[in-house]
Amino acid sequence: MAVFCFGGCACQTEPRVAGEAIVLLSNAPEALDRRFTLSANGQRVASLLAPGLVRVDDSGRPVPDLAESFERVGPTRYRFVLRRGLTFHDGGALTSADVVYTYRSLVDPEVGSPLRPKYERITSVEAVDPRTVEIELDAQFAPLLLDLTMGIVPARLADTSYRAAFEEHPIGAGPYRFVERPDEEHIVFAPFDDYYGGRPEVERLVFVVVRDETTRVLSMLRGDADLVINAVSPVLLPRLEAAPHLRLQQRPGAGYAYLGFNFRQEHLADRRVRQAIAHAIDRDALTRYKFKGAATPATGMLPEGHWAYAEAPRFAYDPARARALLDEAGLPDPDGNGPEKRFTITYKTSTDRFRKSVALLIAAQLEEVGIGVDLRAYEWGTFYGDVKRGRFELMSLKWTPVIEPHLYHWVFHSDSIPTEDNSWTGGNRGGYKNPQIDTWIDQAASELDPQKRAALYANIQRVVGEDLPYVSLWHEDTVAVVNERLEGFEVSPFGFFHPLANMRVR
Amino acid sequence: MSGYVIRKLGGTLVSLLGVTVIVTLFLNFIPGDPIEVMLGEQAEQVDREALRRAIGLDRPAFEQVWIFGRDLVTGELTTSLPPFRDKVLPKIAEKLPRTIALTLVSMVLAILIAIPLGVFSARRRGTGWDLGGMVFSLLGVSIPRSWLGPVLILVFAIELDWVPALGVVGVRSMVLPALTLSLAMVAMLSRMTRASVLDVDREDFVTTARAKGLSETVVVWRHIVRNALIPVVTIVGLQFGTLLAGAIVTEKVFNWPGMGTLLLSAIQQRDYNTVRACILLFTFVYVAVNLLTDLAYGFIDPRVRTQRRGA
């Protein structure tokens, strides 16, 4: 009997509706209210509905969004001026009161946002006049602006009787308005006539959650869908590129892959050994063959083109140099190129097939220069638990798109070394310590002049690049597969969805 | 008879209770802190304690089982996603009929194909047809659904363009998932039917029927097949659970919005309460169908009851 109700489903994909664009997602957004989203897809879809005061441009800089301008008015105080005539999708005006409500609700335990700890840094949010808001922090903190991409929701939500209606039909001031979500797998948006940036030309924007990668690829091949961003593995890209109606767009930026060292391991504490390992890995070959070119060899956490990016030492593939460095470090190969190793280390990775295959190649390249590698692949929970507690010698992992360079504090500051006492909080899992780096990171966080900040991060990138607490492997590209029906779409390096507002359907 | 029913019911209750305990407590068996595993790199910015409380991990084990069971029964169970207000049961109520529909259609499809195929093979035992049937069955049992599904999409949706690759568009889009899901069952049932038909063929009453001068068609369909179907019916019931499990993979491949997709989505989002509820439901259906099959078998074949009483 249930079969018959499907006829009335609003999610028909055939025949294709004129002006309709279908975007495939690999997993379902957990919420459409940005205040309750943790997943990347959730945040991206929610931001399209409800943008924030600022958004992040392609170089990782905050730029005005709902705010037409922002400035620093005190050591820890910022002023935002909203654009004129902003309205929510239901026609209600968007004023400073809505901004105040949004940020207060984030730290309200009653509301229960999972992002609360992040926003507790804000000590006050005040409406100066209907278009002006001032935000005060508990201390100088330059990375603040990136957290102000939070989508602005109406202050009417303070009235709890409106909440249920809002959850059914969320609104914001974004380029697209919510139409319906008939089930978990389908979200339908329509263009918002009064969007400050102009009404989008797409008549209907549908997000379809397709969890199976092969099915995503086949749907794109058949022309059932128009766009998929970062949800197709590199090996399948050539097949898609060959299809006459599909185009690929690639930009470096999505995710930074690295090989992490544990400084508590006697040999790895020696910089020469770390540099030898960096010279032993052929990153060009790995990106060419494993990623089919959809990754760019990296020298540090930040991708080229990021506002704070600076050149750091490059360790070219040079096995001879690697062997020389190891000899120098007092670790000679006992039998030349024979089966005996200079020393053996364990290398932990997850059981993910692709990650494991990359780890096998890296292990083979290390064996080439006489380092014995005991490769161990663990189920994600176990692997991650070990990594968090610093229980590894060598491991490879990936940071999701690095936008805010303050991440250096989490990853390389000596305050961020996880220990039992701080209940294993901190991303400096290898235990890297360099007082100079600590100082620069602290200065950069409170330095508000962008140029001076960039200079500090340039120093950090250079010294970390020599110290090598990580071997930087590569930046994985953001890859969009686009049906030629879509015109004007330009993929964001971080995979953000705001370019969806600027495209047309042919 | 009533003793037999009570024994079966008792066993069922014990297995359900056991599964409830295991399913509720499985988070406690994860190596490391489950909250960290759930939150991953985002743990820094998330209210860990709120999450811990919401899932009840701050309570003693027996209390966790009790609270989960109580909330499930009263319909108060919420998802483990902030702000912990969405109810789990309405979601399941929306998805379950679709999975049941897919499973039932696959089952009917399997029976419609498998029984004639099995009888046909048995009647042509030792010929090329029989061999072909065997090869087909072997392939059917061995081919994984995660491979068969995409191949069917490639052939029927992309090359031939007969059905859509994506989305739920009426009955037409049920064809491929149902085929994918039923293939293994077709293979198994047809072999079963073939063997059973050959067994019955050797019985005395069949010889008698032939000696009476009945036409071969009547002998086969009225005397042989009817008797041969008894074990086949049992297998159909027992296979229902397998179909349900297969539905998870099949639904993922075809993007069928049923219980399988709900479960996978809950796993991806680390929505543990929904995962718990789904697994419990699958177990419940599995156990219930097995119980019904056992009971039905007892009713159909009086020998079963007699044996149990004797034992």
Mean pLDDT for all residues in chain A: 88
How many whole angstroms separate alpha carbon A239 and alpha carbon B299? 57
For range A334-352, the mean pLDDT: 86
Of the pLDDT bands very low, low, confident and very high (cuts 50, 70, 90), residue B212 is confident
Give the contacts of A486 (CB within 8 A, at least 6 positions apart). A21, A226, A227, A503, A504, A505, A506
Q: How far is CA A490 from the centre of its chain?
A: 18
pLDDT recorded at residue A192: 96
A26-73: per-residue pLDDT in tens?
A: 888 888 999 988 788 889 999 999 999 999 988 888 899 999 999 988
Query: Does B44 have pLDDT greater than 70?
Result: no
Provide, as residue numbers in chain B, all residues whose Cβ is less than 8 Å from the Cβ of A224.
Answer: 164-167
Q: Is the pLDDT of residue B311 over 50?
A: no
Instruction: Please report the pLDDT score of residue B31 as a whole number.
Output: 63
Task: Measure CB to CB from residue B46 to each of A38, A185, A385 and give the nearest one.
Answer: A38
**CA-based angle A496:A501:A506, to the nearest 5?**
120
CB within 8 Å of chain B, chain A residues 86-115: 111-115
Using DSSP's 3-state secondary structure scheme, residue A396 falls into: strand
**Model confidence over B115-170: pLDDT tens digits?**
888 888 888 888 888 888 888 888 888 888 888 888 888 888 877 877 776 655 56
B153/A184 Cβ within 8 A: no
pLDDT band at B310 (very low <50, low <70, confident <90, very high): very low
Mark yes or no for CB contact B30/A117 under 8 Å.
Answer: no
Does position B214 have pLDDT exceeding 50, yes or no?
yes
Q: Do B165 and A222 touch (CB under 8 A)?
A: yes
A400 in B contact zone (CB under 8 Å)? yes
Distance, in Å, from the CA atom of B175 to the CA atom of A279, rounded to the nearest integer, reads: 55
- B78: contact with A, CB 8 A cutoff: no
Lowest mean pLDDT: which of B92-101, B186-195, B234-243? B234-243
Q: What's the rounded Cα separation, in Å, for the pair A308 and A171?
A: 35
Q: Which of A28, A31, A112 sits opposite B265 (nearest CB)?
A: A28
Please give the Cα distance from B267 to B293 (Å, whole number): 31
Contact predicate A428/A412, CB 8 Å: yes
Distance (Å, whole) CA B119 – CA B105 = 22
**Nearest CB partner across the interface for B153, out of A31, A218, A384:** A218
Residue A62, strand partner residues: A56
Percent of chain B clearing pLDDT 70 (strictly above): 86
- Which residues of chain A make contact with B31, given a CB cutoff of 8 A? 381-382, 385
Average pLDDT over every residue of B173-194: 88
B105 contacts chain A (CB < 8 A): yes
Q: Is A458 helix (H, G, I), strand (E, B) or coil?
A: helix
What pLDDT is stored for residue A231 in this prediction?
Answer: 87
Q: Tell me, what's the ipTM? A: 0.72
Residues of chain B numbered 192-231 and touching chain A (CB < 8 Å): none
Which of B193, B186, B187 lies closest to B120 in space, CA to CA? B193
Contact B41 A382 (CB under 8 A): no
pLDDT of residue B34: 67
| Inter-chain CB pairs, A–B, below 8 Å | 154
Distance CA A203, CA B264 (A): 31
Over 50: is that where the pLDDT of A12 sits?
A: no
Tell me the mean pLDDT in the region B46-73. 79
Interface of B with A in 111-140 (CB under 8 A): none
Q: Which helix (H) or strand (E) holds A482?
A: strand A470-483
Residue of B nearest to A186 (CA): B167
pLDDT at A345 over 50: yes
Q: What is the dihedral of CA B255, B258, B263, B269, to 10 degrees?
A: 60
Q: Which one of A214, A224, A353, A410 makes the best mutation probe of the B interface by having the most chain B beta carbons within 10 Å?
A: A214
B188 secondary structure, DSSP code: H
Minimum-distance CB partner of A117 among B46, B158, B166 = B46
| Length reported for chain B | 311
d(CA A445, CA A453): 8
